[in-house]
Chains A and B, each alone.
Chain A
Amino acid sequence: MALQDKYAELLQTANTLGVDNLAVAEKDGTLHVSGTAKSTADYDALWALYNKIDPNMASGDLMMNLDIKADAGASLKVTTDSTNLNIRSTPSTEGDIVGKAAHGEIVTLVEKTDDSWWKIRTKDGEEGYAYAQYLSPE
């Protein structure tokens, strides 16, 4: 229970924010948390809290597998540092690049293929897979 105490504020906040399907389990020195945040703002707030409780997230004792609620057709903002986001033919960097989305561009979610890769469509109609971590539901 020790880790649940350490991250009590985080778990409490996740509850307050109404994270869907919130699941928590402690195993072998790691606290596993999963669920779906209602918005990018909630997701960012929870990650900021993680970083506050465990400075630099250096302990490696929390696995916060959260995603953000987004249905097919949702608008996604490209959140790369500054570069273009590659859109690929398959959900892997092995896939051919079939398009690019600029930093800050808004694209449309086609489907959440898995936790790491989402199928998207640009406003020019380019469709393919992009890395989910660089896409934030608007």
Chain B
Amino acid sequence: MKITKTLMALAILLTLGFAGCKPKDADIKANVETALKANPDAANVTVSVNEGVATISGEVKDDATKAAVAAAAKGAKGVKDVVNNTTVPAPVVVVPEPASVTTALDEATQQKVKDGLKDIKGVTVTFSADKAVLEGEVTAANRMKIMQILAAAKVKSDVSKLTDKK
């Protein structure tokens, strides 16, 4: 019995002793922050430490930076482990412009429009600087067809003189 008590006391002492030697989380946090300061790309990274585990968060520019800040944090004094919650923004996708942005209303294009409208009765087309001007009376279905023909030819429309067939 006496031996058990002595052992227990010893165990408690040892635990307390080690705990006393362990760096405090606040100190570890300061160590990590100092380590990250060396990297200007880590300016937006924040640190929290819990029982020696450092969690780093915030946005970094790329995957390489993400790995670098984690390695730097891991190397800081007192850090047992690192949880890397830093994020890399999604890449900006460059989408090509629709071809119609730069299409000119040249003669060939005008001809395409005329060709397409040939089968639609009661509609005439003239061309202004950059638009096809439609005139006449159309059904809803033909109105849509006209718009599709113009869009396929990449021609802007003025349908203010187009009326609905009753």
- A contact set with B: CB distance below 8 Å: 21-25, 27, 30, 32-34, 47, 50-51, 56-58, 60, 63-67, 80-81, 83, 92-93, 115-117, 131-134
Out of A27, A58, A116, name the residue touching B115 (CB < 8 Å).
Answer: A116
Most buried by B among A30, A60, A80: A60
Residues from chain A with a CB closer than 8 A to the CB of B95 are 22-24
Out of A34, A56, A117, A132, name the residue touching B100 (CB < 8 Å).
Answer: A34
* Contact B153–A115 (Cβ < 8 Å): yes
Q: Which 9 A-B pairs have the closest CB atoms?
A: A34-B98, A32-B98, A93-B115, A116-B112, A115-B152, A23-B98, A25-B97, A63-B100, A32-B100
Question: 1/0 per position for B84-107, CB-CB distance to A under 8 A?
Answer: 000000000001111111000000
A57 nearest CB neighbor, chain B only:
B147
Out of B97, B119, B154, B157, name the residue touching A23 (CB < 8 Å).
Answer: B97
Minimum CB–CB distance from B115 to chain A (whole Å) comes to 4
* Contact A132–B98 (Cβ < 8 Å): no
Out of A27, A33, A116, name the residue touching B153 (CB < 8 Å).
Answer: A116
A65 to B97, CA, bound (A): 12
Residues from chain A with a CB closer than 8 A to the CB of B96 are 21, 23
Minimum CB–CB distance from A137 to chain B (whole Å) comes to 14
Residues from chain B with a CB closer than 8 A to the CB of A24 are 95, 98
B99 nearest CB neighbor, chain A only:
A34
* Contact A30–B116 (Cβ < 8 Å): no
* Contact B131–A63 (Cβ < 8 Å): no
Residues from chain A with a CB closer than 8 A to the CB of B98 are 23-25, 32-34, 63, 65
Q: Determine if B74 is an interface residue (Cβ-Cβ < 8 Å).
A: no
A43 nearest CB neighbor, chain B only:
B148
Minimum CB–CB distance from A101 to chain B (whole Å) comes to 13
Residues from chain B with a CB closer than 8 A to the CB of A60 are 131, 156-159
Contacts of B121-166 to chain A: CB distance below 8 A: 131, 141-145, 147-149, 151-154, 156-160, 162, 164
Q: Determine if B114 is an interface residue (Cβ-Cβ < 8 Å).
A: yes
Minimum CB–CB distance from A27 to chain B (whole Å) comes to 5
Q: Determine if B5 is an interface residue (Cβ-Cβ < 8 Å).
A: no
Residues from chain A with a CB closer than 8 A to the CB of B142 are 81
A117 to B100, CA, bound (A): 17
Residues from chain B with a CB closer than 8 A to the CB of A115 are 152-154
Sample of 7 more A-B contacts, CB < 8 Å, known A63-B100, A92-B115, A133-B152: A47-B148, A51-B144, A56-B162, A57-B159, A60-B156, A116-B116, A133-B148
A61 nearest CB neighbor, chain B only:
B156
